């Protein structure tokens, strides 16, 4: 082990490692455009599959309303159903949270409950092996024996944190393109299109800016076509996105459908409010920028500024001090000669 570490510490080995990393980075940079998949095409394919699923569910409900059941036939789904994890680890908000993260159907739900059951044991075992066999960091005995509980707690809450992070990123992508999409929807409605055709057209146009928003609009088109009440489609859109601005728009569309008010007027008002909301958020971020830059400026800018300002003065001081020391023997020699 010591020989390996000493060989890795040699300059030749370090140089070879850096060259290998540079070559690897170059290859990845060249091949990355070819490895990326078409995100918009994948989202639109998921929308088509969801539309077909809704059509099949509607037909099955008409034939046998009591026989329509949603199950997951995978190995994880079978384990979750046999252990009845949905009841043992019941979370009333997990379905809405998974929908906001873009994870729909019984398979993500079964995977979530399976991860919530297995990750606490895995976290406890990993922490136990690390503390007792790798490095205990000088912990007291009570802390050493209690550390697996922290690993189990981290494993238990890890699925929730993962889902919430995905949902947050998805909401940011949706809200980044939603005001522009709402403007396009207003143009489509005022041009004489129905709300279904408007959502369909906007989902095709907004896909390059936000594939998530295009997917949500595509699902709304499918639900407007197959659900018995159009208001339910708008409510589902609001639940899947979980944003206040989209909830207000869906409420306005539902009221317009219910009371027969013009959709163009409602969309015009909501589009203006969403533009103002986006501008307010931009101004809020701009106002908070000086306070956020204070710590980076202290850590990174001020030391460099001090070096630039005080560096030449320090170099001049050292040079003058060296000159004085060099002139001292000459002065002493002169004094000796006079004496």
Summarised one tens digit per residue, pLDDT across range 180-202 is: 888 888 888 888 888 888 888 88
In 3D space, the residue among 65, 70, 102, 100 whose CA is nearest the CA of residue 86 turns out to be 70
Nearest-angstrom CA–CA distance, 62 and 68: 10
Q: What angle do CA 102, 104, 105 make, to 5 degrees?
A: 165
- Check residues 134 and 211 and name the one with the higher pLDDT: 211
| Listed residues 128, 146, 171: the one ending a domain | 171
Domain count, the chain: 2
132 and 230 share one domain: no
139 and 211 share one domain: no
Nearest-angstrom CA–CA distance, 195 and 205: 15
216 and 113 share one domain: no
Report the percent of the chain where pLDDT is more than 70: 71
Task: Give the Cβ contact number of residue 127 at 10 Å.
Answer: 19
If you average pLDDT over residues 128-143, what whole number do you get?
75
Residue 259 inside a domain? The answer is: yes
Q: pLDDT value at position 69?
A: 43
Average pLDDT of the chain is 76
166 and 99 share one domain: yes
194 and 270 share one domain: yes
Residue 82 inside a domain? The answer is: yes
Nearest-angstrom CA–CA distance, 269 and 253: 11
Residue 105 inside a domain? The answer is: yes
**Across 74-88, 177-191, 225-239, least confident range:** 74-88
Q: pLDDT value at position 76?
A: 63
| Listed residues 242, 259, 286: the one ending a domain | 286
Q: pLDDT value at position 287?
A: 87
Q: Which domain does 213 fall in, by range?
A: 173-286
Q: Whole-model pTM above 0.85? A: no
Give the list of residues 6+ apart from residue 120 with CB closer than 8 angstroms, or none: 151, 152, 153, 155, 156
| Listed residues 171, 201, 218: the one ending a domain | 171
Residue 47 inside a domain? The answer is: no
In DSSP notation, 83-129 reads HTHHHHT--TTHHHHHHHTT--SHHHHHHHHHHHHHHHHHHHHHHHH
180 and 254 share one domain: yes
**Across 17-21, 221-225, 261-265, least confident range:** 17-21
Instruction: Please compute Rg for the chain using Cα positions.
Output: 32
Q: pLDDT value at position 130?
A: 80
159 and 247 share one domain: no
User: pLDDT-based confidence at 143, cuts 50/70/90?
Assistant: confident
154 and 184 share one domain: no
């Amino acid at each position: 082990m010591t020989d390996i570490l000493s060989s890795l510490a040699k300059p030749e080995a370090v140089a070879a490692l850096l060259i290998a990393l540079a070559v690897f980075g170059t290859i990845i940079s060249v091949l990355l455009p070819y490895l990326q998949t078409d995100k918009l095409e994948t989202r639109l394919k998921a929308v088509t599959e969801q539309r077909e699923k809704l059509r099949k569910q509607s037909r099955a409900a008409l034939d046998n309303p009591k026989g329509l059941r949603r199950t997951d036939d995978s190995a994880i789904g079978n384990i979750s159903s046999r252990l009845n994890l949905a009841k043992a680890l019941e979370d009333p908000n997990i379905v809405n949270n998974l929908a906001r993260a873009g994870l729909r159907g019984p398979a993500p739900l079964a995977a979530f409950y399976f991860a919530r059951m297995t990750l606490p044991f895995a976290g406890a075992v990993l922490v136990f092996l690390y503390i007792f066999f790798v490095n205990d960091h000088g912990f007291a005995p009570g802390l050493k024996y209690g550390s697996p509980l922290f690993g189990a707690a981290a494993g238990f809450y890890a699925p929730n944190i993962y889902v919430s992070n995905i949902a947050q990123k998805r909401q940011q992508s949706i809200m980044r393109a939603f005001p522009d999409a709402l403007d396009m929807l207003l143009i489509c409605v005022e041009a004489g299109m129905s709300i279904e055709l408007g959502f369909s057209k906007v989902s095709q146009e907004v896909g390059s800016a936000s594939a998530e928003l295009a997917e949500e609009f595509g699902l709304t088109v499918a639900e407007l076509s197959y659900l018995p009440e159009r208001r339910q489609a708008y409510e589902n859109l609001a639940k899947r996105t979980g944003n206040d601005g989209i909830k207000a728009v869906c409420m306005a569309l539902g009221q317009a459908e219910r009371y027969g008010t013009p959709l163009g007027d409602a969309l015009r008002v909501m589009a203006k409010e969403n533009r103002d909301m986006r501008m307010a958020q931009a101004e809020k971020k701009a106002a908070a920028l000086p306070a956020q830059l204070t710590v980076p400026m202290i850590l990174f800018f001020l030391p460099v500024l001090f070096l630039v300002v005080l560096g030449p003065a320090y170099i001049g001081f050292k040079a003058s001090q060296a000159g004085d020391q060099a002139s001292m023997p000459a002065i002493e020699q002169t004094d000796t000669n006079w004496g």
